[in-house]
Each structure stands twice: as C-alpha cells, then as structure tokens.
Amino acid sequence: MQLLAASAIDAYLPIGIVFVMAVIFAIVNIVASQLLGPRADGAVKGTPYESGMDPIGSARKKFNIRFYVLAMTFLVFDVEIIFLYPWAVTFTQLEPRSPEALLFLGRILFFIGTSVVAYIYAWRKGVFRWD
C-alpha cells in the first residue's frame, strides 16, 4: 500500500488549509453582520443585562478559590495523560508476558501511582467538594 509517510510535514498541509478556512469563516461572519446590522445606542441599552436591575459594580469580581485549585489539579492529570499516550503505543508492540513488558507495566503503574497519591490528597483536602 503506497501511503504518505506519516511523519512528513506535508501531511499537515490540509490541517493548515482548514485552519485558514475556519479563520476566514469567522472573520467574514463578524464583518458581515457589522456591515448589515443596524446600529443604535442608548443609556439603558448599553448596560449589562441583570434581569432589569441596575448593575452594581463591575462584574469582574474575585471568584471562588475552588476554580483555581481545580484548574491546578486538572493540569497534573492532563500532563500525565499526554505522557501515557506514547507509552500506550509502545507497550502494545511488546511481546505479552515478556520481562520487558512487565518492566514497562511496572514503570507506568509507578507513574500513575504518583498521580493517584496527589489525587487522593486533593480529594481528602476537599478540592472536589462544591457544597
């Protein structure tokens, strides 16, 4: 089967094209409705919507620390998952039940184990409690 060498940078050319198409689509949409739509402004019309109340202060207030801690916990896991993908592809190439495969399995179990310790710590600290 004659197929494109998968590592060739040419293979990513269609992705570049679709990216350019997406950017053009987005820009054309925004510009079109800027040009075609009506324009009017007013004292009340310009205020942010708050169910008819006059807004009090800016909307960009301090927010709950939980969101921040959650994002940090997410980072730990996301990076870990990305490391697992190359391992998964290599691991399946190995002979089942061979000593080498056992070594691979043991190493990745240790790696996942370190993250699971962090996960349990975060859980017991109440990172996932939102009540």
Partner 1 sequence: MPALMGLENLTQYLPSWVAPTPAFCQIVTGMLVILVMLHVILGGCAYGIMLERKLSAWMQDRVGPNRVGPAGLLQPIADGLKFIMKEEYTPRGADKVLFMIAPTLIMIPAMISFAIVPWGGTLELSQLPFGLAKMLGVEGITVRLAGAVVNVGMIYLLAVASLGVYGVALGGWASNSKFSFLGGLRASAQMISYEIPMGLALLCVVLTAGTLDPYAIIEAQSHGNGMWNLLQHPVAAVLFYTCMLAESNRAPFDLAEAESELVGGYHTEYSSMRFAMFFLAEYFHMITGAAFFSVLFLGGWSLNPFGGSLDLPMQGGLPIVLAQVGVMLGKVTFMVAFAMAIRWTLPRFRFDQLMKLAWEGMIPTALVMLLITAVFTYLGWASSIWAGSLLCVAVMYLVGPMLPHQKNPNHRIGMIGSRFSPLVEGTGSVSSHPVAMSDAAIPDRRQGLQSIH
Residue 65 touching partner 1 (CB under 8 A): no
Residue 123 touching partner 1 (CB under 8 A): yes
Pick the binder of partner 1 from 52, 54, 62, 84 (CB under 8 A): 84
Q: Which residues contact 127 (CB under 8 A, 6 or more apart)?
A: 66, 69, 70, 73
Distance from CA of residue 125 to its chain's centroid? 24
Residue 15 touching partner 1 (CB under 8 A): yes
Least gap, CB of 30 to partner 1 (angstroms): 6
Pick the binder of partner 1 from 54, 92, 99, 110 (CB under 8 A): 92
Pick the binder of partner 1 from 54, 62, 65, 77 (CB under 8 A): 77
Residue 108 touching partner 1 (CB under 8 A): yes
Question: SS3 breakdown of the chain: % helix, strand, coil, rounded to 5?
Answer: 65, 0, 35
Pick the binder of partner 1 from 19, 107, 114, 121 (CB under 8 A): 19
Phi, psi of 30, rounded to the nearest 5 degrees: -65, -45
Q: Which residues contact 84 (CB under 8 A, 6 or more apart)?
A: 108, 111, 112
Residue 70 touching partner 1 (CB under 8 A): yes
